[in-house]
Chain A
Amino acid sequence: MKRFVPWIVLVVMAGWIGANWMPPKVDKDDVDLAKFGKLPVLVGGRAKPLDTVARNSLLIIHGKQELRLENGRTLSAIEWLVDVLFNAPVADQYPVFVVQNDEVLGLFGWEQSQRKYFSFAEFAPFLKQIEEQGDQADKLEAVQRSAYQSAILNLRNGLVLYQRLKNSVQLEGSQNFAAELKTYQANVPGAANAAAQAQRGENFDRAKLNDVAELIQKYEKISEMAYILAVPSADRSGDWHSVGDSLLHSVSTGKIHPIVFEYAQIGDAYRARDQAAFNQHVDLAANFFAKEQPNATKRTSFEFLFNRLQPFSQSMALYVLAFLLACASWLGWSRTLNRSAFYLLLLALAIHSFGLFSRMYLQERPPVTNLYSSAIFIGWGAVIVSLILERIFRDGIGAACAGAIGFVTLIIAHHLAGSGDTLEMLQAVLDTNIWLATHVVCITTGYSAMFLAGMLAIIYIVRGVFTRSLTKPTADSLARMTYGVVCFATLFSFVGTVLGGIWADQSWGRFWGWDPKENGAVLIVLWCAITLHARWGGFIRQRGLMMMAIFGNIVTSFSWFGVNMLGVGLHSYGFMQKAFPWLLGFMISQLALITIASMPLENWRSFAGERDPKDRQLPDEAVAA
């Protein structure tokens, strides 16, 4: 019976994930938002599905990827966006904007209460005030802003984004947009003719000119406001235009781009609750893109799928479960639990890898391009190395590390995603796949290994001090793993750091510039070198190695996040202040562990019974140096 438990666990969890991945049931009488959400648009320099635009915008404005209404109904991001785009008066009532700062609320004469979400309609009378206050805050550096200033700036940026979204494919409040466009198209040639006559000083029909001039003013407004570039260039140059620009361009061509027409009819149908017309025009638009932009369409429909599957959330859940199983295996029933944990981890890793490679495919880049993707990659690398360790030692330690690091790094990634698109375009200097694939991958692999060594050391300390489960063989194998992983970290950190220097030599003209991020990297290399030399020289033994590996966590976290918080240098691409307390907390917790580890061995539960509680030495073969 026991033999089947791991398989049963695996099948149950795989089934659970499969159930999560089932596409949601669509009512036949409903508008086909899934198809609508796949339409490609250009935002932030990248072609992406409307669904991604909806999720990221809602994340920026609302802090979540879905919206709970006061009546208890939950709107998905695309349901929200379709209202914003086509039915602004309804969208204006949704409580999307988050305000928790009491000073900001006070600005409008509101008292702080349980409510933290507000609708656009509620802010409408205060827009000018918010704009002014936000501009003031915007002039300061992020570090200098007070909580009030950060909050008001946040609100202002959210409101700006929201208003730009509303005016992306039509002027907000438009009713019969398709009909209006037809008039426009019909009148443009006459108006152009009249304008030419006027220029030549001949008699011209002023009424004809006026009809169009009014509309042109409107389109100039949406051309200025547009957040979404929805119209691909007719000449297939790869350029994209906003609906407004495209309409202004129509003055010279006399033709309206088919996509502009489709969006207008989709919008009209949506407001009229004409499900058939909506679906029909979404189909027409989709077909147009499939024919004209086959590559973008392939990628955006894959991205749509990727958005729905949420691979990182799924693997996060599996990692936690695997971690708990692995820890439980040290208390009893070891083989079975161990095996279950291992199988679950393989499943989690498969999903994690799917997510990672999907992102690479979507972005056409090596895996690490920003702080978010570094967290995904560090977790991925550490899980793989842990699973190799687990395969060799089969004692649940590798599995526990994999579960813990996989979970924590994905949580970190989740919190780094708040600023919007995690597949953003790269700054000019980063625009090189060779260096991203070598330097950045090496450095982040080094981080992975450092955190893994730290995690192994934490297991050693916690099991040794608080439980009786740290037997001599376990302690020895933990020491061997830690030592090996530190060696691995040294190799990758060193090579990564020097490759970074060479990249800097290629693009900035100096191999080494004492930039904070460079310093952070070299701190890791130095710490590895100290640890290894101290071990080889016999200055530290098993326990010392563990304490140094835990300190390695502090050094690595400083290098990963700490230097970005300083806000200096050429690398400060991932500046973030909010995480500072978390970083500090993490560092303190690691120091606490080191302090606990320095307790006399009599106080360690695992060693309490031994008569000669001397530190054990690493076996000779591991210190062959």
Chain B
Amino acid sequence: MLRKIVDLFTSLKLTIVCLAAGMALIFAGTLAQVHLGIHEAQQRYFQSMLVWWPAEGQSFKIPIFPGGHLIGAVLLVNLIATHTKRFRWAWKKLGIHLTHAGLIIMLAGGLFTDLFAVESHMRLERGDTKNYSEDQRHMELAVIDTADNDLDQVTAIPESVLRTGRTIDHWSLPFRIAVRNYYPNSRLQTLSQAGTGVRPIANQGPGAMIAVEAVPRTTAQDERDVPAAAIEILPKDGGSLGTWLVSDALGAPQTFSCCGRQWKIAMRTARYYKPYSVTLQKFTHEKYAGTEIPKNFASKVTLIDPERNVSRDVLIYMNHPLRYRGETFYQAGFQQDDRATILQVVHNPSFLAPYVACIIVAAGLLVQFGIHLVGFARKRRTATA
């Protein structure tokens, strides 16, 4: 039995099957991008163990194809297993070993990136200073203690916790938060717009005058979901302060007082705070004379890091990102007639893997095909001689 399993995982046939499945998956996934958008197709086809049909809206679903993670993992196991079992040192095989070692680094690096890389955005208008970046695809419930005038104490509850509907009890808060309703995507209307018979889900703050309607999650590239929830504040010494509606669409945080202190709550895009800050000095958007073709986008920012005694100006532009403390800032876009810049902030601990892998694999292929070529040339010479 074990032998059979070992044989299976070290067989060349499995390699070919995986590669072919990979091709089919990539082809299907690429076509699916036309309707689903790149992000959604990527989630369903490439960053999944299995591809499901139908994907949504039905009571049943069945797996119809292995997903990218599954194929990649099997291929990785296949590669490692084959080389462990059959490894024999010979100069003639140097090329093959190098190639496959490089591929292992690349596949493992890819998997690592998928699991640990964090992408976020920093949107800055001229003169803005921020010490955090935002993740447009994830929300959080921020509970802010404003007791200290200089420093806000923020307790952030990720959207994924809200979704479970559990009552949240955190040591930093003198109250518990009960999630009464949760909408992954919603539309907010005033009660009068919504018509008669519609009841609000909250009884405190502006939410008491707003109707919430659940809508299907969006798949369009340029839209995003508007999650909403009704939360009830339950002081730990008993009783209830009422229910608030929280949603990204509401704008400014809502205020309430509890246990003798003022609190603010808001549902907002998830923030990643940094020990340093970035200030936008100037954004430039050059075009070629007499055309609309963009020639360059550049953001001049000031980077201030009190911990490390850094205070300097940096120019971030096309193909020239800023790399600082494990994070990389790229010029990603602009808004409002060039008044605001959007920087993409990426934390990817394995970004070096592809660089290393590429060199190793290229060297391996060169050696391998070089050996073929030399052998072929020698053979021909003896044949013609």
For chain B residues 363-385, which have a beta carbon within 8 Å of chain A?
365-366, 368-369, 371-373, 375-376, 379-380
B119→A495 contact, CB < 8 A? no
B351→A511 contact, CB < 8 A? yes
Given known contacts A42-B289, A568-B33, A621-B379, A526 and B369 CB-to-CB distance under 8 angstroms? no
Residues of B close to A510: CB separation below 8 A: 117, 119, 346, 348
Residues of B close to A503: CB separation below 8 A: 319
A563 lies within 8 A of chain B by Cβ:
yes
Interface-side segment among B15-23, B150-158, B201-209, B230-238: B15-23
Q: Which of A429, A536, A568, A624 contacts B38 (CB 8 A)?
A: A568
B119→A428 contact, CB < 8 A? no
Given known contacts A42-B290, A514-B41, A522 and B358 CB-to-CB distance under 8 angstroms? no
A577 lies within 8 A of chain B by Cβ:
no
B362→A622 contact, CB < 8 A? no
A513 CA / B37 CA spacing, docked (Å): 12
A126 lies within 8 A of chain B by Cβ:
no
Given known contacts A494-B365, A499-B358, A502-B358, A429 and B290 CB-to-CB distance under 8 angstroms? no
Residues of B close to A425: CB separation below 8 A: 288, 291, 293, 295
B290→A44 contact, CB < 8 A? yes
A43 CA / B368 CA spacing, docked (Å): 49
Interface string of B315-332 (1 = CB under 8 A from A): 000110100000010101
A527 CA / B110 CA spacing, docked (Å): 20
Interface string of A372-403 (1 = CB under 8 A from B): 00000000000000000000100000000000
Given known contacts A507-B318, A530-B19, A567 and B288 CB-to-CB distance under 8 angstroms? no
Interface string of A487-531 (1 = CB under 8 A from B): 110110011001101110111111111111001101100110110
Residues of B close to A427: CB separation below 8 A: 293-294
A558 CA / B23 CA spacing, docked (Å): 13
Interface string of B98-139 (1 = CB under 8 A from A): 000000001000100100010100000000000000000000
A515 CA / B38 CA spacing, docked (Å): 7
Interface-side segment among B24-32, B59-67, B167-175, B257-265: B24-32
Query: Smallest CB–CB gap between B287 and chain A, Å?
Result: 8
A558 CA / B30 CA spacing, docked (Å): 11
A501 CA / B23 CA spacing, docked (Å): 18
From A227, which residue of chain B is reached at the shortest CB distance? B290
Query: Smallest CB–CB gap between A517 and chain B, Å?
Result: 10
A527→B96 contact, CB < 8 A? no
A239 CA / B287 CA spacing, docked (Å): 12
A484 lies within 8 A of chain B by Cβ:
yes
B16→A526 contact, CB < 8 A? no
B319→A45 contact, CB < 8 A? no
B330→A428 contact, CB < 8 A? no
A533→B319 contact, CB < 8 A? no
Given known contacts A491-B362, A523-B23, A566-B30, A429 and B318 CB-to-CB distance under 8 angstroms? yes
B92 lies within 8 A of chain A by Cβ:
yes
A539 lies within 8 A of chain B by Cβ:
yes
Residues of A close to B289: CB separation below 8 A: 42, 45, 229, 239-240
B119→A523 contact, CB < 8 A? no
A514 CA / B113 CA spacing, docked (Å): 14
B12 lies within 8 A of chain A by Cβ:
yes
B141 lies within 8 A of chain A by Cβ:
no
Q: Which of A229, A530, A568 contacts B20 (CB 8 A)?
A: A530
Interface string of B203-218 (1 = CB under 8 A from A): 0000000000000000
Q: How many of chain A's residues touch chain B, expressed as a range?
A: 35 or more
Which among B19, B345, B379 has the greatest number of chain A C-beta atoms within 10 A?
B19
A500 CA / B192 CA spacing, docked (Å): 54
A498→B16 contact, CB < 8 A? no
From A515, which residue of chain B is reached at the shortest CB distance? B38
Given known contacts A495-B362, A567-B34, A501 and B19 CB-to-CB distance under 8 angstroms? no
A242 CA / B361 CA spacing, docked (Å): 53
Residues of B close to A516: CB separation below 8 A: 30, 33
Query: Smallest CB–CB gap between A625 and chain B, Å?
Result: 7
B146 lies within 8 A of chain A by Cβ:
no
A625 CA / B361 CA spacing, docked (Å): 16
Given known contacts A431-B295, A533-B15, A498 and B38 CB-to-CB distance under 8 angstroms? no
A64 lies within 8 A of chain B by Cβ:
no
B184 lies within 8 A of chain A by Cβ:
no
B179 lies within 8 A of chain A by Cβ:
no
Residues of A close to B376: CB separation below 8 A: 480, 484, 621-622
Residues of A close to B321: CB separation below 8 A: 506-507, 509
A534 lies within 8 A of chain B by Cβ:
yes
Residues of B close to A509: CB separation below 8 A: 119, 321, 328, 330, 332, 344-346
Residues of B close to A501: CB separation below 8 A: 354, 358
For chain B residues 1-51, which have a beta carbon within 8 Å of chain A?
12-13, 15-16, 19-20, 22-23, 26-27, 29-31, 33-34, 37-38, 41-42, 46
A89 lies within 8 A of chain B by Cβ:
no
A45 CA / B33 CA spacing, docked (Å): 34
A569 lies within 8 A of chain B by Cβ:
yes
Q: Which of B297, B319, B373, B380 contacts A506 (CB 8 A)?
A: B319
B372→A624 contact, CB < 8 A? yes
Residues of B close to A44: CB separation below 8 A: 288, 290-291, 293
Residues of A close to B117: CB separation below 8 A: 510
B318→A431 contact, CB < 8 A? yes
A537→B332 contact, CB < 8 A? no
A519→B30 contact, CB < 8 A? yes
Q: Which of A426, A513, A622 contacts B372 (CB 8 A)?
A: A622
B19→A526 contact, CB < 8 A? yes
Query: Smallest CB–CB gap between B380 and chain A, Å?
Result: 7
Query: Smallest CB–CB gap between B236 and chain A, Å?
Result: 43
From B293, which residue of chain A is reached at the shortest CB distance? A425
Given known contacts A484-B372, A487-B372, A508-B344, A625 and B113 CB-to-CB distance under 8 angstroms? no
B318→A523 contact, CB < 8 A? no
B296 lies within 8 A of chain A by Cβ:
yes
From B42, which residue of chain A is reached at the shortest CB distance? A514
A563 CA / B31 CA spacing, docked (Å): 9
For chain A residues 430-469, which have a beta carbon within 8 Å of chain B?
431-432, 435
B38→A533 contact, CB < 8 A? no
A621→B375 contact, CB < 8 A? yes
Residues of A close to B22: CB separation below 8 A: 526
Residues of A close to B19: CB separation below 8 A: 526, 529-530, 533
Residues of A close to B373: CB separation below 8 A: 484
Given known contacts A507-B330, A516-B30, A516-B33, A240 and B295 CB-to-CB distance under 8 angstroms? no
Residues of B close to A46: CB separation below 8 A: 288
8 A-B pairs with CB atoms under 8 Å apart are A428-B296, A435-B319, A495-B358, A508-B330, A510-B119, A530-B16, A533-B19, A569-B38
Q: A427-B293, A428-B297, A566-B33 are in contact. List 6 more A-B contacts (CB 8 A).
A: A44-B291, A502-B354, A510-B348, A516-B33, A519-B30, A533-B16
Closest 8 CB pairs of A and B: A45-B288, A498-B358, A509-B330, A537-B12, A509-B346, A428-B294, A519-B30, A507-B319
Enumerate chain B interface residues (CB-CB to A < 8 A): 12-13, 15-16, 19-20, 22-23, 26-27, 29-31, 33-34, 37-38, 41-42, 46, 92, 96, 106, 110, 113, 117, 119, 288-291, 293-297, 318-319, 321, 328, 330, 332, 344-346, 348, 351, 354-355, 357-358, 361-362, 365-366, 368-369, 371-373, 375-376, 379-380
